[in-house]
Structure 1
């Protein structure tokens, strides 16, 4: 069941479903009736029971997912409220050139936590002192974006070059920043969409792939820009978030740089599915146009 190498097939719902069937068979799980929840950096399936299966795009992610599994196990040992691994299943595994992990379902109905609950999760995470054995990397905010740019096949050459040049400029601006919060463990992809409520109504942190060492400001910028740039949060909700965490990243001079980097991440992430969804293609076109023109981002939609 396990192997190495990269899959040559396109990362689609169909190819991911084939990997799911083989992975579940090897793990002794039933894949009949599986539901595809989302297709992005990973394909995420919900099985008929209380199991969620995440399938990565390639076997290159094996080391990263091995670290993610280690982080999840350590957080469970500390009692931190994060998504839990399925017990008794060897993981991660490589199937069809893709990395697969198995997780316990957080709740029967997917509900996002509120901004205050999310802020409390971040504050508590940032207080933890991680063991060196986890081997956490230093965060590289633009690294994944640059790698994806080189792999995208559905992006026009002029758009790719525009994004590459923008990323290089942002990397220089980022390197010049002076951070004010303590350096340490961060989630790496912190937004309210990565905090769910369990069946008891408690907030649980999910998507641990990006856990790393870095500036805590990086974990706060998404919520700020979701309010300030996109209008996805009200001012009242954002102010409640900042109070609950204890710091308003928008009052720090480096906020616009981090927000611009997050925008780049969002655009390139969406470009992975270019040509597979009319909605995604329309949203990608809107985002690229706004980046080029400097127009406001209030028309951007969550994906």
Structure 2
């Protein structure tokens, strides 16, 4: 049975293109930006708009309860700028995050007019540099607990079949046990949290910069390597040459680590649960979610999974 009316557990209307557009226009008005001609780049965990009138990105969080998290994200951005680390920058002179139209809004400098991604060797170089930094205690970075996120995501599933929900809950319980038996080999410390080629943009000056700083946390560094390994090993989204360049520049091959299959399974589950939260409002997401659940059930190839 399919349930769900597009309303989240806290009563907020789900973030659709229409509702995001209304918040976006109000957010632009609040800081005297012109919304005319803006482009909606992405509608996922955030609605991301690029203005035509100025080099600004406006991000509207899907979850209206992340104000404190976004304060930390803005703090991370300021700290990385003070370290001269190549990362996305907040728009100066704007008090943020802002709470507008029941949503949390942040304003960022646009890296470029057209999206161009960096290379995997550049991603490896930036992660290696990031992992050598010592985080300032003032940031208050949390310890990353993947299964806290998994439990929260399971509670937010809306519009999925009950048999799929039950299957994912059981898989989460099993992976929780396996994850806590892992023996990590890389140092524990600060991570980006969602390190992948999609979060590495090339700026107008040609330099690759990390974006999407929301997931900064303290955790085993393997977490910052698993998406690249997964995209190469299971999904086929990276070539062997690209992945080898990543390994060579970072200095560690996660795929050869004995704990990789479990870590990959956990990350895969988190990706599915994120997608499952959009089933009720997106036919494309619903189709992809069903494909992924069926694949995991049959332990089949992930090569036909589509990027989101």
Normalising by the smaller structure, the TM-score range is: over 0.9
Q: Per-residue deviation at 1:287?
A: 0.4
Partner SS state of residue 158, structure 2: coil
Q: Per-residue deviation at 1:7?
A: 5.8
- The alignment's C-alpha RMSD in Å is 1.4
The partner residue of 2:107 within 92, 102, 113 is 102
Judge conservation of contact 2:12–2:64 (CA < 8 Å) in 1: no
Determine the structure 1 residue equivalent to 2:142.
Answer: 137
State the 4+ residue runs in structure 1 displaced beyond 3 angstroms: 275-278
**1:27 lines up with 2:35 in the alignment:** no
1:176-214 superposed Cα distances (whole Å, 9 cap, x missing partner): 111111111000111111101111221100000000001
Consecutive unaligned residues of structure 2, counting only runs of 5 or more, are 1-9
1:194-246 superposed Cα distances (whole Å, 9 cap, x missing partner): 10111122110000000000100110011111111011111111111101001
What is the distance in 2 between the residues matched to 1:30 and 1:135? 35
Determine the structure 2 residue equivalent to 1:3.
Answer: none
How many residues are matched?
299
TM-score (norm 1): 0.95
Judge conservation of contact 1:71–1:134 (CA < 8 Å) in 2: yes
Determine the structure 2 residue equivalent to 1:237.
Answer: 242
Judge conservation of contact 2:158–2:280 (CA < 8 Å) in 1: no
Partner SS state of residue 145, structure 2: coil
The partner residue of 2:12 within 4, 8, 15 is 8
Judge conservation of contact 1:181–1:215 (CA < 8 Å) in 2: yes
Q: Which moved more, 1:167-176 or 1:221-230?
A: 167-176
TM-score (norm 2): 0.94
What is the distance in 2 between the residues matched to 1:136 and 1:279? 34
Consecutive unaligned residues of structure 1, counting only runs of 5 or more, are 1-5
Determine the structure 2 residue equivalent to 1:44.
Answer: 48
**1:288 lines up with 2:285 in the alignment:** no
What is the distance in 2 between the residues matched to 1:177 and 1:234? 28
**1:211 lines up with 2:216 in the alignment:** yes
The partner residue of 2:226 within 210, 217, 221 is 221
